[in-house]
Amino acid sequence: MAGPEIKAPPFRDIPTIPALIPGAMAASKPYVANQKVQEGIGFRGELAENWQELAIEKMGDLLGKYRSLKVYMDSCVHCGACTDKCHYFIGTGDPKNMPVARQELMRSVYRRYFTLPGKLFPSLVGAKDLTKEVLDDWYSYFWQCSECRRCSLFCPYGIDTAEVTMAARAIMDHIGLGQKYSNEILAKVNKIGNNLGLPGPALEDTLQGLEEDVKEETGVDVKFPLDVKGADVLLITPSADFFAEPHIDSLIGYAKVFHAAGISWTLSSYASEAGNFGLFNGSYEMMQKVAMRIRDSALELGVKRIVVGECGHAWRVAYAFWNTLTGLGGGGTDPFSIELQKQLDPTFRQPSHICEVTWDLIQQGKLKFDKSANDHRTITFHDSCNVARASRMGDSPGGQFDIPRNIIKAVANNYVEMEKSTVREKTFCCGGGGGVLTDDLLDIRVKGALPRMEALKQVSDHDGVNFMATICAICKAQFTKVLPYYGFNMRVVGGVHQLVSTAIKLGDEQ
Amino acid sequence: MASIEVNGKSYEIDEEGYLVNLGEWNEEVGAYLAQTENVTMTEQHWEVVNFLRDYYNEFQIAPAVRVLTKAIGKKLGADKGNSQYLYELFPYGPAKQACKIAGLPKPTGCV
């Protein structure tokens, strides 16, 4: 890779607030999406000449459409409770990475164009013209936010700072300043059905290979069905599960769970992606377009139940948005939603998380494990932000924290919790979420991983933790890349269903 | 758009150094791209690169890391059929770095 050498910051004594280094990350900018990519997903090909006018217009449009955004613009009192809660601020010391300061990049523009004092006396109220310089700052710093919403947890007004970042990105997309990584992905999922661009025949080949591998390893015919009409369950999982390490080990885990429980299931080549980058870019229309593939596939295959694999933001979209986006989960009144509701089995949660499926089966005594198969591992769990702070699992509060942990404890003997200020709803982002997981942002990704790496180091040194389980494809890819910068083996990260896969007894051998 | 020059011929590359027109690839271009990645190509490296290209020609995508390791293991022996071996050859990750040298598009998504 070109550019300056990327280094991890040294570990700190916990807790500490970093000294300020103004402008430290001003040069961090992801590649801009080219004309072909932009136009392919319905945005302007390049920065429009009248971009300023278009940006203000779009901001007005969003403020009118989303009352929440207007409240978030108006209600911040700059108390500073959020300042040291952001992993990117902790890792970089750049004051513009304090959530309050990052959002101020938009608030100052909001005040200038949408409030009376800002229109009349801009300098008295800290209102700023939307200049090219300000836009440059937007492009830098709104792509140094992973929309993890940890800062929001500490905000006395409950300001959802991620929503501000999403709005800023939607405005930049609108004026023709899109981010290459996210928008390329959106183009691919719309065309091919997944973020990776994995065509049906390649997926089929990969799945056949997995059947052979599992057969060789266990002697059991565990199937990885694709496009099977009339299957009970449609599994929607991130395409990284078909491609990357350690993701694929969790996919094997899901297949073993379905096999052992005797559940008929299928994957879909048309809807071979759980991830939905429309969320990251603040585009409801894009999010809906991506999600519609899942509904269409469910209808076509005639499934009774939809299950989501290990993907953090996918679970947020599924849990919180699918019903209004696609009628999946109830509430839709169009003919397809009504048909889908008739088709889906109401005795299950729709959609269900794979962890809910596995945990329910464990409680019903339908799965058996040899826990000692995981004895070489001392395991901790990294809560993924979108699951932790934007969703729920099971029937009781905190289910999204307890269920994955319960599964781990059911399949392994050695479990250790990380420092309590870094887990459950207070979890730190992996550093790669929200559309930041790209090589051109590796520097900020490495720096943003610092707080999680510190907490991991503590349990690694003290308790011998050698495996950090997680249920998010982004977390897995991000940690695989950044762990070595902090002196860990890249294999320290893995999936919850990877652990399930190791210990599960397949029905046939009992 | 940036370009590289190999043996007097110019080839378009994208911001990240990936070849734009996949059909233009040849071994000299591969060797040149390897140099930009500080990878010294050996016979073992070419085995991987050639496998990637064959797979891509059939499926229009690079193989999953697991598919790659299995194929390499079958060809070169079980001791080499693991991702550690591939990371030794391509330290920045077999999927991305080897794809770049093979003239294939960069795998996108959460990988």
pLDDT-derived band of residue B80, with 50, 70 and 90 as boundaries? confident
- Tell me the pTM: 0.96
For A441, which residue in chain B has the nearest alpha carbon?
A: B16
Residue at B74: amino acid letter: K
SS3 string, A122-163, reads: HHHHCCCCCCHHHHHHHHHHCCCCCCCCHHHHHCCCCCCHHH
For residues A221 and A324, membership in a common domain is answered with: yes
Query: What are the tens digits of pLDDT across the range A118-156?
Result: 999 999 999 999 999 999 999 999 999 999 999 999 999
The CATH number of the domain holding residue B21 is 1.10.10.370
**A vs B: CB pairs below 8 A:** 89
pLDDT of A264 reads 98
Cis peptide before B63 (omega within 30 of 0): no
pLDDT of B102 reads 96
Do the chains contact at B92 and A248, CB–CB below 8 Å?
no
Residue A21 domain-assigned (yes or no): no
Q: What is the mean pLDDT of residues A417-438?
A: 97
The tally of domains found in chain B comes to 1
Query: What are the tens digits of pLDDT across the range B38-72?
Result: 999 999 999 999 999 999 999 999 999 889 999 88
Residue at A98: amino acid letter: M
For residues A221 and A341, membership in a common domain is answered with: yes
Residue B108 domain-assigned (yes or no): no
For B18, which residue in chain A has the nearest alpha carbon?
A: A1
For residues A386 and A505, membership in a common domain is answered with: yes
Query: What are the tens digits of pLDDT across the range A320-360?
Result: 999 889 988 777 788 888 899 999 999 999 999 999 999 99
Structural domain containing residue B68: 3-101
- Told to judge if B99 belongs to the known catalytic residues of this protein, a careful annotator would answer no
The tally of domains found in chain A comes to 3
pLDDT of A1 reads 53
Residues of chain B contacting residue A201, judged by C-beta atoms under 8 Å apart: 59
For A188, which residue in chain B has the nearest alpha carbon?
A: B108
Do the chains contact at A196 and B67, CB–CB below 8 Å?
no
For residues A147 and A206, membership in a common domain is answered with: no
Do the chains contact at B109 and A240, CB–CB below 8 Å?
yes
The CA radius of gyration of chain A, in Å to the nearest whole number, is 23
Residues of chain B contacting residue A196, judged by C-beta atoms under 8 Å apart: 61, 107-109, 111
Question: At residue A509, does pLDDT exceed 70?
Answer: no
pLDDT of B78 reads 85
Question: For residues A240 and A247, what is the distance between their CA atoms, to the nearest angstrom?
Answer: 6
Judge if ipTM > 0.90.
Answer: yes
pLDDT of A331 reads 73
Residue A484 domain-assigned (yes or no): yes
User: Which among A147, A164, A179 is the end of a domain?
Assistant: A179
Do the chains contact at A196 and B107, CB–CB below 8 Å?
yes
Residue A29 domain-assigned (yes or no): no
Query: What are the tens digits of pLDDT across the range A4-15?
Result: 789 898 887 766
Do the chains contact at A196 and B109, CB–CB below 8 Å?
yes
For residues A334 and A268, membership in a common domain is answered with: yes
pLDDT-derived band of residue A175, with 50, 70 and 90 as boundaries? very high
Question: For residues A404 and A263, what is the distance between their CA atoms, to the nearest angstrom?
Answer: 21
Residue A18 domain-assigned (yes or no): no
Among A98-102, A230-234, A465-469, B44-48, whose mean pLDDT is lowest? Answer: B44-48
pLDDT-derived band of residue A2, with 50, 70 and 90 as boundaries? low
pLDDT of A315 reads 98
User: Which among A341, A359, A377 is the end of a domain?
Assistant: A359
Query: What are the tens digits of pLDDT across the range A455-495?
Result: 999 999 999 999 999 999 999 999 999 999 999 999 999 99
The CATH number of the domain holding residue A124 is 1.10.1060
Q: What is the mean pLDDT of residues A254-259?
A: 98
pLDDT averaged over chain A? 96
Structural domain containing residue A404: 367-509
Compare CB distances from B111 to A1, A202, A243 and report the shortest one's residue.
A243
For residues A430 and A323, membership in a common domain is answered with: no
pLDDT of A142 reads 98
Among A171-180, A421-430, B55-64, whose mean pLDDT is lowest? Answer: B55-64
Among the listed residues B79, B55, B80, B78, the one whose alpha carbon sits nearest the alpha carbon of residue B67:
B55
Distances (CA, A) of A298 to A201, A341, A375: 20, 11, 39
Give the whole-number percent of chain A exceeding pLDDT 70. 98
3-state secondary structure at position A456:
helix
Gap from A125 CA to chain B (nearest CA, Å): 40
User: Which among A308, A335, A359 is the end of a domain?
Assistant: A359
